Structure 1
């Protein structure tokens, strides 16, 4: 049953794309391979001028979108229509027009002609339509609203009013400059994002997911609630090469969810575990999804520093899920799997451990200060080299084609989102709307940090119900992050704050994409699965507040391990407090008074400081001591009863 459900989930996730056979399949394969080779070539030997690099990248993406994604649900799924061909020609023609026009445009100092305006209008429409097909209606609708706003702005009262712009000025800004479609966001997609998606694809074809599952089983399979912990650990590992919640769910959930159900977890809870753990994959270094690259580029911070900032929050997030699982397993008396059924860690590493070297090499190069593109290329080279150590993992011609094709296909939704977001960013920069929206956020929050953070959290979660996490991060960081920064918070902390809640939106009902995918595999109710995932991920909703009020939880380049250790220890105790409150259990079942005390302890430990830490740890110690006393009393009573009997 689980296998059938998993296949249905995979089919649903891919159902938007046409499934070709014969010559069409060959043509798509050739296009995807050419796109991946173009990206590899420019990453290895140097990118073209920004506008040309981005134009060629987007030309490939738009071509693939109009070939692979039908216009409507009723459109043919096995052939490309004349309408699709027409849009394809318009899309590729208007993007490649920039490549032809670029030398003249530069030589004239940016002067444009009437043809530029007409071509630009078509290109903007094609980008919006491609995004609608590839990622849904939400983001294109937002882009359309912003376009209407740029024309209607002079008639809008209040802070969003602007003086107005001509059609030529608007189109030039969105089409011919680095402030619109072909701006910084698409630039990151055309370089870092694509390359690291491709790196993940190469690792996947070597059998990396099997290695992660086997290592996780060897480490945690025999412990209380072992399969659930395996799900968490394997999803954390998968997060090192994947930046998608749904992809993590389908990859690891088909293996872990049936095991969780086997040992006694209810289907909706098993699905919730997988969804919550898979969401955390996007905050686990070194890949961290597409948004991390955009964050590094936007803030002018080396990508390796982003990895450092993300590491401790990721540890706390997964620790929170593991704590809840362990407490629940102890409470209901669940055991792990028999060790005889599990692989041995030594044997797993001996047979498959060589697959880890590409990741190790990538991280080493990043830490040593090499450019992320250079590190990514070498990561792919190392994946090919080390895969050849075993026949079962070797990347042969078939796997090479599969990796190149998979990387390109997986990059399509991200690239389409980045292109259409360029319209939103372009309109905002031209009209000054970003500053106005930031001011509106401050006004609504009353200028207080805590209310600004709460408002930003709600905004990120609501936006995330309709948008991919990358699009969510870009919009919320543009709208709300400046308001947080204006209240004295460092930009990196503000951006990490909105980044977190964009990811957590994937497990927040009523629209929880990750939970819905997990429910399909578990055969459970999607809403129940979503609320289970929300409960398991509760620590994730607290962590951003922890590092806003305790910035030393983020491992900055200036931090030392000795400086981080006290904050990490108190934060882990706080995570344990939160988990015990959620499960109403620590060493034994907790009373209401103990839950209240543990809740206060968790709140004290959120804000780092000597006084709050002492109070929080003291309250925690009181509950632990009382629980020990209760357990000892129960044992004594049991012994006395046995003696009497």
Structure 2
């Protein structure tokens, strides 16, 4: 019996993608390492046009209009060929575009080709990012055409349709702007490393490593979810794929040890969402942020470290309190792997990560670090005794690298159109000034407006798309208010991420709900509870730059300790249970204790204010009071039991 047709098509697609990614990787390595194999240094726009020529056509193959139907496949093939030809034209014309400033005075044929490219970019972004991001791209890319006809606050400079499209495709501020440049010069290596890490079995290693470490502890299955999702999500940079990968293992394990479906799904959704900004390897957004701020990527990674630690610490405390409250145990020892065996079979993953971090710490080396780490990982993976290297395995790795590259390039090129529209019309500066004016120079009001705006955009767009838009509009306004630029950009990203766990959209929570077979909205609201600290964290570090390492080390240490104390109290209050203390009580008195504990936690978290001393003393006082009350209750109960008998 022959191989099914669909299987043959999938094999052919995998082989095609594996082969087509090779010139893309060659081009990226040649550029990043400056190897000189081509013979001459590529100018920026030629390099970017070649990336688009080699990558963008595959979008119409990987993301077809319909899965079935010969006519639709033919249409996809035509669009792919047309896309290849259009950007090949720009590649051949790249020197003329720079020399004769075609973005301002293009020849007629270039305008026609640019319009075709604009339409193809929009369709590619629609297939990858969905309808919401496509509508935003269309509106803002055409904004310069009708900007002068709009009312005061959103009015701008206008120019004809043909010159607008020419500017989008041939200037360095739109399609070839910061988003695509960040990918081509920095992100591509980390995509390769992340895919290789996943496809060589790092997901199983992180899960088994977490099981061996804390699987037997109280609420162990949920704590495993934190470690596994945090470790793997940091590599993939995708909330949804992380939930689908780790959640398929962790959610059933949590349910088996007593967690309800709703709680298991919510914990996984929160753990996977927080992983997107977990160093050392974060999502594409972090690399784009580094380009916007013009700082090394490692600066962004270090800045994100304390917020990530605080979030996962809060989630860990909530899980421990929940498990203590409902007497949930860990996984049976018979189901736990040996830590020694896990490390023996997967130490090379840690070696690859170590190589990545050691090289990346050196200024100027962050672009080459993932390639060296990937090489080390592949060599070690090949020599491991239990591994079996096959051509199919490496074809699959290459194909997955191409899939990841295609999805990101199609989206970033489309988002570049948004940036170009706002730059050429002057809208970005106008909106930033208007926001400052509306807020009346009030930093809290500006932050609340910024958080709500970031959240709304995050509901309909990817985190990267939302961040890029708001980095142009919102970040300048917050920076004008005197806030630290790095803290401001992280603030925008965090609030954009919150849409993954917050209804009505809550994509991360809904995906986890499907794995747990639970009602999506119920999981969404439970995710908000477990992820409560994530709603407060952005305000903590944007108001106190020490929490993103933008201050002296003494202030960083004091702020971190105060934040840990605050987060501990907030997490304990959310669950009505305090580690090493016990229940905060039930009924009216319990609600009062929980509210007081959360309020004191917030005060402690913002302990850089003049109330720092009061906050810490009050926090210690409430812990002691609850501890004494719990001890007294236990003593009274013990005294009554003999009489009852």
**Both structures adopt the same fold (TM-score exceeding 0.5):** yes
| Correspondence 1:116 to 2:105 | no
Instruction: Write the distance in 1 (CA, Å) between the matches of 2:301 and 2:332.
Output: 37
Residues 14, 396 of structure 2: 8 Å contact kept: no
Q: How does 1:95-106 map to 2 (within 5 A)?
A: 95-106=87-98
Q: Kindly indicate whether residue 597 of structure 2 is the aligned counterpart of residue 598 of structure 1.
A: yes
Aligned pairs for 1:113-192 within 5 A = 113-192=107-186
SS of the counterpart of 2:456? helix
Q: For residues 598-637 of structure 1, what are the structure 2 equivalents within 5 Å?
A: 598-609=597-608, 611-637=610-636
Give me the whole-angstrom Cα distance separating, in 1, the residues matched to 2:125 and 2:110.
Answer: 22
Query: Quick check: 1:639 aligned with 2:638?
Result: yes
**Structure 2: any 5+ residue segments left out of the alignment?**
1-5, 36-40
Determine the C-alpha separation between the residues in 2 that align with 1:500 and 1:128. Answer: 27
Q: In the alignment, what sits opposite 1:270?
A: 264
Name the residue aligned to 1:42: 31
Q: Does 1:565 align with 2:560?
A: no
TM-score (norm 2): 0.92
Query: Which residue pairs with 1:11 in the alignment?
Result: none
Answer yes or no: is the 8 Å Cα contact 2:106–2:166 preserved in 1.
Answer: yes
Q: In the alignment, is residue 513 of structure 1 matched against residue 507 of structure 2?
A: yes
Partner secondary structure for residue 92 of structure 1: helix
2:503 paired with 1:504: no
Identify the residue that residue 545 of structure 1 maps to in structure 2: 539
CA drift of 1:41 comes to: 4.2
Equivalent residue runs for 1:368-407 within 5 Å: 368-393=362-387, 396-407=390-401
The farther-off stretch of 505-514 and 630-639 is 630-639
Q: Distance in 1 between matches of 2:162 and 2:642?
A: 94
Verify the 8 A CA contact 1:414 1:470 in the aligned structure 2. no
Determine if the alignment matches structure 1 residue 358 to structure 2 residue 352: yes
Distance 1:18 1:196 in 2: 30
Match of 2:326 in 1: 332
Contact in 1 for aligned 2:564/2:605 (Cα 8 Å): no
> Which deviations, in whole Å up to 9, do the C-alpha atoms of 1:551-574 show, x marking residues without a partner?
111124x643x4422211111111
TM-score with structure 1 length normalisation?
A: 0.92
Number of residue pairs the alignment of both structures matches: 625
CA RMSD in angstroms comes to 2.1
Work out the CA distance in 2 between the residues paired with 1:391 and 1:255.
Answer: 26
Range moving further from structure 2, 583-592 or 119-128: 583-592
Q: In the alignment, is the contact (CA less than 8 A) between 1:214 and 1:343 conserved in 2?
A: yes
Measure how far apart 1:394 and its partner are: 5.9
SS of the equivalent of 2:133 reads helix
Secondary structure of the 1:391 match is coil
- Retained in 2: the 8 A contact 1:20–1:78? no
CA change 1:592–1:163 in 2 (3 A) is closer
Is 2:502–2:528's contact at 8 Å kept on the other side of the alignment? yes
Give the structure 2 partner of residue 27 of structure 1: 16
Distance (Å, rounded) in 2 between the aligned partners of 1:300 and 1:610: 31
CA contact 2:279–2:301 (8 Å) conserved in 1: yes
CA deviation string 1:135-181 (max 9, x = no partner): 11111211211234211112112032234213343123111110111
2:84 equivalent to 1:92? yes
- CA deviations on 1:16-53 (whole Å, 9 max, x unpaired) are x9993464553344224443444344334457322122
Matches for 1:96-495 after TM superposition, within 5 Å: 96-108=88-100, 110=102, 112-393=106-387, 396-495=390-489
Please give the per-residue CA displacement for 1:78-99, whole angstroms capped at 9, x wherever unaligned. Answer: 7853322332222221211111
Gaps in structure 1 of 5+ consecutive residues: 1-16
Distance, in Å, in 1 between the alignment partners of 2:388 and 2:283 is: 26
- The secondary structure found in structure 2 opposite 1:314 is helix
1:347 shift after superposition:
2.7
SS in 2 for 1:180: coil
1:386 Cα deviation from its structure 2 partner: 1.9
Q: Is the 8 A contact 1:146 1:427 kept in 2?
A: yes
